Every structure is written in structure tokens, then in C-alpha cells.
Chains A and B, each alone.
Chain A
Amino acid sequence: MAAETEETEDQEYESRVGASYMLSRLLQDTTARISLILIAIISGMALFAFIDAEFLDYRLAETYLYHPLRNNAGTRPLLPPVGLSNQFGEGVLAHPLGTDTRGRDLAVRLLYGSRIAIQIALVSTTIGVVVGTTVGAVSGYYGGWIDDVLMRFVEILYSIPFLVLVIAFMAAFGRELIYAMIGVSIISIPIFARLIRSEVLSIREETYVEAAQAAGVKDRNILLRHVIPNSFAPVVVQTTLQMGTNILIVAGLSFLGFGAQPPTPSWGQMLSIARNYMLPAPWFSVWPGLAILITVMAFNILGDGLRDTLDPRLEN
């Protein structure tokens, strides 16, 4: 009898594998569901903006919306939300979120700014995860001098204030967005490396790892197939959290003038211009600020939801 209950508990605990199971559990959580929907909307906007900007030369924007980079003829700069008129005619919803200092529509610029945000989240975090996981897993699995060398290197990276590191990096290579993303990915490497190393240290002692060694599997394949997949849960959580953080950091960099350069719309850079007009035109700074807030929060809530799903100890 005792053995039977143990068996079922065991089964419930261990059936927490597989992406579909994880997703279905995640969707039971209301806040996580909302955050997923938000991220889906933002990603959809970003995809639209990406296709339009990269492949169609803003044709979609010019036909159906306003051009995000150019001034609109006849539009008043710093028009309050619920604008009055545009070249398509008159109406209260011509510029629903108002216009900026040059008379560009804020709604369109926000939409195109989402492209930068999602791009940062994906590119910089992916580089950070891939490099960090490799470094941490190799370090934890092999141990010895490899561990010492790699982890000291990681700790050196960790000890430099991140903003100083990124700005120094961009000063050396250039102010473009791509360098901002690489710079941010460098500062996220230590986080992932240390996280996965601690997991790998315990997973490598598991019997199935020893069994694989005894069967003559190469160390590289043991790492890739047996060790990393079993230690990846906290990395998944950290990845979503880190996406939010990285968006925030790059927004901060853009605010300081590093990152996406004008006229490319990015939320941080919009904020940077808007800070001079905070009293006469508060909407100018409110919208990009809100956009950053919502996006970063969505990623953080998703991360919390994932942690609840992936960590059996938080089960009540």
C-alpha cells in the first residue's frame, strides 16, 4: 500500500517533463496567461514592424498609418492625444496618442519601437544563454582547472559594473544597436553560467550520467543529452526574467544616447527626447515609459509563472 502511494506520487512528480505539459500548467495561472497574451501582442507588433521596415521599406506604414521616421506634413508638433487632423482628413482619432516634437505620430513610433525591444530581448538573451550555458555546463561537468579558469573569468565579468562595461564596450566598437545588444549579452553570460553550473554539479552525480559513461558515450554527448536538458529548468526561468532586464538596460542605454540612433524609433530614445517636454507635453514621455513598463513586467510575470510551473517545491 505504502509502495503504491509512493509510486503515484513519484509519477506525478516526474511527469513534469515535456513542453506541452509545461505550457498547459502555465496557462492555468491567470497572471501568467495575461503576460503571455501581452508578450504575444507585443511580438506581433514587432513582427509587423520588422517585416514592414526590413522588406517593404515602410510601405505598409505609409499606406495605412503614418511614416514612423518622417514628419507628417501639416501636423502640429506636440499635438496632444486624440489629435485633430491629418492628411487623410479630419477626425478625433487621427493621432490617438498625440505627436512628438517633430510632428511624428507617437502611436506608430511606439509600434515600431517594439521591434527594437523584442530584437534586444531575443538576440542579447539568446547569446547570453548559449554562451553562458556552454561555459557554465562545461565548467561544472569537467571541474578541475577548466572550472577554475572559466569561473574566474566569469567572476571577473560579474565584478565590473554592467553599465560601465557596456558603455566601455560600445565606446570601443561603436554606438549602434548591435553593439548594445552584444554588450548586454556579455553581461548576462555570468548570470547563466553560474546558474547552470550549480545545477550541473548535482546532475553530473546522477546514476544515469554514470550509466552513460559506462556505456561509452562521449563526454560531449553526455553533456548535451543528459546533463544540460536535466539542468535547464532554472535557465528557462532566468531567460524570461533576463529578457525583461535586457530590454530595460538597452532602454537605459538608448536614453543615454547609446543604442538605436535617431531617427530609428526606440522606446528609450523616445523617452530621452521627451524628458525636455515633460511639463508641456507629458503624453510624449508617458507612452514610451508605459510601453517599457508593460513589456518588462510581462516578461517578469511570465518568469514567475514558469518558476512556479517548473519548481515542484513551490507546489502547495
Chain B
Amino acid sequence: MTTPLLSVENLQTQFETAEGTVRAVDGISFDVHEGEIVGLVGESGAGKSVAISSVLRLVESPGEIVGGEIRFRGETLLSFEEGPNGERRQSPESLSNKEFRQRIRGREIATIFQDPMESLNPVFTIGSQLQEFIEINRELPPKDARDVAIETLREVDIPKPEDRFDDYPHEFSGGMRQRVLIAMAIACQPSLILADEPTTALDVTVEGQILNLVSNLQEEYGTSFVWVTHDLAVVADICDRVNVMYLGQMAEQADVHDLFDNTKHPYTEALLQSVPRPDKTVESLTPIEGVMPEAINPPSGCRFHPRCPDAREVCREVNPEPRNVSDTDNRHNAACVKHDVFDVDYEHSTPIQSEGDEFGEDLQVTEGSR
């Protein structure tokens, strides 16, 4: 197998708060290969955005990356080692912050943010912001950068880019601004774009246009994407592989077809069941019961067990790492002990009754008060 473009291993990011340590990202691993669109899916609060910020080292205090290894094209961007007193510290192989900023951010890994309304500086023109990014990351003189900027704006289907170059962000609609943000990301010709829910703030028709645009650009440039979303329809539409996150950990990792046709994790199953579809009535939708617990005090054992329909006693004790559970050659990781590879005697464990269960009761109350 070739070296992945981006490889994240056992990444851990936590936030120190007054109430305690929040492990927002708790040991996730995933790979992104050249020319691939990888989905990162999960409910709000699953740690998707924190994972993205961690890759870019944009986690701000009180947040801190405390462990894991990130490699880009085989080069170590971040790794940790034991210090002399047993504490964990960044190993010297990690790229320095300055080098990281100059070589990686924007140049190799670009970002598209969620909210197109907030992601552009209101006091400067679209063009000057785009040009600034191009000048920095491609080391072009201002005049050439301007030409590249206009060309990129044309590529993301902004009509009359020469005229719109000197317009301010407020003169653009939401969809247009998102196109500008995409232009900013691709203009620097990165090999990987991290897209943090880029279509969430847009309406469905514009979302469709943007998705088409992204697929076209992806084919043209061969750029890899990490596409963060909570919308499984978007995942089905554009992703090659999918990572499903739950409460800071990976639940399931598979090719997009395997994930939808041959779901291996109850959480993914539940997510799929709760997506509204034209061929289903509201009654036949099965929402996932309850809400995601706080990451500050995660449930013991498997983090999904309080809400899991298949939970058994053993799930309270064992917190499984994702393992390959595939019957075919395609790798298909799932972190659920009901698969035989885990070998924790799930078969003979007593199923957890949702009534009488502490968590279950709480959830019943939440449900009733709605």
C-alpha cells in the first residue's frame, strides 16, 4: 500500500475547563490517500471540528493536543514522546510552529470553513483577500497573484470575476461567498483541503451546486478532501471513504458503499435510520434516543452503550478500538464488540434493559419533556 497523504494516529486533543478535562478528540486514527474525498461524520459535539483544527494546529487555549502522531506524505508533522519525568511532550521530529505555518498551512493543507458569512474579512475586498493568500502561499508578485485570483474566481463560477474582484463580502450572497472561500482554498494549489461543514449554512440547491463544483475541481486537480459533515446524504454523494465519529472516538471506518450497504456499527445504523427519506413516513423514522453525553464525563466502556439498542453488560466494561471486521478485501473498521474479532463473549452477555438502567431512565425523561 502506498504512503497515505495524511495519516492521523491516535490523535488526542483535550480542553481544560473549570469542571474538568474535556477529551474532545480521544484517540482517533484515520488516513487520507491521494485524490480521495474522505468523510468525517458525526453528531454535533462528536469532535469533528476539533479533529480538523488539531490537524492544522489551530486548537486554542484552553485546548491542547496531548498525544498522537500526524504524518503528511510520510513526514512527521506532529508526534509525542516520553519526557525525562515521564510526562508526554512534543518530540523534536515535530515541525516547528513557524515551519508549519510557512510550509503546510495554506500551501499543502487548506481549509474551508463552515460559515461563509463570517469567514471573510468585512473591511477588505474579496479580491484583495484572495490575492493576499495567493501571494503568501505561491510567492507570486502582486500583479501575477491578481491574475491568478481572477482566474480562480472564474473557475469557481463567479460571473464577471474582473468586476467582482473589487467587491466587498457583503455584496455577495451566501453561496457566492462559499465559492470565494473554495477559491481561496484551491488558489494556493494545496494537496489536501479540510472542509469543515462547508455546506451546512447553505440551502439545498446552493449546496448541490457547491458539491458539483467540488467534485469537478477534485477531478481536475486531484486534490484530496476531508469533508466534515453531519449530513449522510452529502457523504453518499461525494465521499470515497467515511469515518464515523462518536464522542471523540471513531465508531466505524469504511468505503462509502460498504458503510451504507453493510453497516457494522449500531451507531452508524442508528444514524442511517434517522435520516428522513421520501420513501419513509415520519412514523417509520427511528431517531437515536437521547442526546450525546458530555465528553467531560463519558460513559464507561463503549461510549455509545447508553443509547445503543444492541447494548449488553459487556459493553459497560469494554471500550473497543476500531478493528477490521470486513468479510471482503476492503478494510472495514468498526468499534463494536458484537463482532467476533473482539472476542469478549458478547454472545453470552446479558442485554441491558433500557428501563432500570441509570442512563436509560435519564433518557426517558429527556424524551418525555420534549
Q: Residues of A with Cβ closer than 8 Å to B?
A: 7, 10-11, 14-15, 17, 143-144, 206-208, 210-218, 221, 225-226, 229-230
Contact of A216 among B104, B123, B124 (CB under 8 A): B104
- Tell me how far the C-beta of B133 lies from the nearest C-beta in chain A, rounded to whole angstroms: 5
- Considering only residues 25-73 of chain B, those with a C-beta below 8 Å from chain A are 56, 58, 61
Among A143, A215, A217, A230, chain B packs the most CB atoms within 10 A around the CB of A215
| Cα A298 to Cα B119 with chains together (Å) | 39
- Tell me how far the C-beta of A303 lies from the nearest C-beta in chain B, rounded to whole angstroms: 21
A selection of 11 A-B contacts at a CB cut-off of 8 Å is A14-B169, A15-B168, A207-B115, A210-B113, A211-B184, A214-B58, A215-B111, A216-B106, A226-B121, A229-B123, A230-B123
Which B residues are CB-close (under 8 A) to A17?
122-123, 168
Nearest opposing residue in chain A for B137, CB measure: A216
B137 contacts A208, CB within 8 Å? no
A211 contacts B188, CB within 8 Å? no
A207 contacts B136, CB within 8 Å? no
Nearest opposing residue in chain A for B102, CB measure: A216
- Considering only residues 112-159 of chain B, those with a C-beta below 8 Å from chain A are 113-115, 117-124, 132-133, 136-137
A143 contacts B61, CB within 8 Å? yes
Asked if B89 lies at the interface with its beta carbon under 8 angstroms from chain A, I say no
Would you list the 8 A-B pairs with minimal beta carbon distance, nearest first? A216-B105, A14-B170, A216-B106, A215-B106, A214-B111, A207-B118, A207-B119, A208-B121
- Tell me how far the C-beta of B51 lies from the nearest C-beta in chain A, rounded to whole angstroms: 14
- Tell me how far the C-beta of A284 lies from the nearest C-beta in chain B, rounded to whole angstroms: 50
| Cα A151 to Cα B184 with chains together (Å) | 36
- Tell me how far the C-beta of B48 lies from the nearest C-beta in chain A, rounded to whole angstroms: 16
Which B residues are CB-close (under 8 A) to A213?
58, 105
B105 contacts A208, CB within 8 Å? no
Asked if B338 lies at the interface with its beta carbon under 8 angstroms from chain A, I say no
Nearest opposing residue in chain B for A205, CB measure: B60
Asked if B349 lies at the interface with its beta carbon under 8 angstroms from chain A, I say no
Which A residues are CB-close (under 8 A) to B184?
211, 215
Which A residues are CB-close (under 8 A) to B118?
206-208
Task: Answer whether A215 and B121 are a contact pair too, CB < 8 Å, given A17-B168, A210-B58.
Answer: no
What is the interface of chain A mostly: helix, strand, loop, or mixed?
helix
| Cα A10 to Cα B116 with chains together (Å) | 14
Task: Answer whether A207 and B113 are a contact pair too, CB < 8 Å, given A14-B122, A230-B122.
Answer: yes
Which B residues are CB-close (under 8 A) to A212?
121, 133
B120 contacts A208, CB within 8 Å? yes
Nearest opposing residue in chain A for B98, CB measure: A218
| Cα A221 to Cα B128 with chains together (Å) | 14
| Cα A215 to Cα B58 with chains together (Å) | 11
- Considering only residues 288-325 of chain B, those with a C-beta below 8 Å from chain A are none
Which B residues are CB-close (under 8 A) to A226?
121
Which A residues are CB-close (under 8 A) to B132?
217, 221, 225
Which B residues are CB-close (under 8 A) to A144?
61
Contact of B136 among A11, A15, A217 (CB under 8 A): A217
B121 contacts A10, CB within 8 Å? no
| Cα A94 to Cα B153 with chains together (Å) | 69
Looking at chain B, what size class is its interface with the partner chain?
20 to 34
Which A residues are CB-close (under 8 A) to B181?
211
Nearest opposing residue in chain B for A144, CB measure: B61
A208 contacts B136, CB within 8 Å? no
B105 contacts A215, CB within 8 Å? yes
| Cα A207 to Cα B181 with chains together (Å) | 12
A215 contacts B133, CB within 8 Å? yes
Among B120, B136, B170, B173, chain A packs the most CB atoms within 10 A around the CB of B170
Asked if B88 lies at the interface with its beta carbon under 8 angstroms from chain A, I say no
A211 contacts B101, CB within 8 Å? no
Among A206, A208, A230, chain B packs the most CB atoms within 10 A around the CB of A208
- Tell me how far the C-beta of B52 lies from the nearest C-beta in chain A, rounded to whole angstroms: 9
| Cα A208 to Cα B120 with chains together (Å) | 5
Asked if B110 lies at the interface with its beta carbon under 8 angstroms from chain A, I say yes
- Tell me how far the C-beta of B283 lies from the nearest C-beta in chain A, rounded to whole angstroms: 30
B136 contacts A215, CB within 8 Å? yes
Asked if B107 lies at the interface with its beta carbon under 8 angstroms from chain A, I say yes
Task: Answer whether A214 and B170 are a contact pair too, CB < 8 Å, given A208-B120, A225-B132.
Answer: no
- Tell me how far the C-beta of B177 lies from the nearest C-beta in chain A, rounded to whole angstroms: 11
- Tell me how far the C-beta of B6 lies from the nearest C-beta in chain A, rounded to whole angstroms: 15
- Tell me how far the C-beta of A200 lies from the nearest C-beta in chain B, rounded to whole angstroms: 14
Nearest opposing residue in chain B for A218, CB measure: B101
Nearest opposing residue in chain B for A219, CB measure: B101
A215 contacts B115, CB within 8 Å? no
- Tell me how far the C-beta of A74 lies from the nearest C-beta in chain B, rounded to whole angstroms: 61
| Cα A206 to Cα B120 with chains together (Å) | 9
Which B residues are CB-close (under 8 A) to A211?
111, 113, 119-120, 181, 184
Which A residues are CB-close (under 8 A) to B170?
10-11, 14-15
- Tell me how far the C-beta of B193 lies from the nearest C-beta in chain A, rounded to whole angstroms: 11
| Cα A144 to Cα B113 with chains together (Å) | 26
Nearest opposing residue in chain A for B187, CB measure: A215
- Tell me how far the C-beta of B53 lies from the nearest C-beta in chain A, rounded to whole angstroms: 8
| Cα A225 to Cα B118 with chains together (Å) | 16
Additional 20 contacts, C-beta under 8 A, given A207-B118, A216-B107: A10-B117, A15-B170, A17-B122, A17-B168, A144-B61, A206-B118, A207-B115, A208-B120, A208-B121, A210-B58, A210-B119, A211-B184, A212-B133, A213-B58, A215-B110, A215-B133, A215-B136, A216-B102, A229-B121, A229-B123
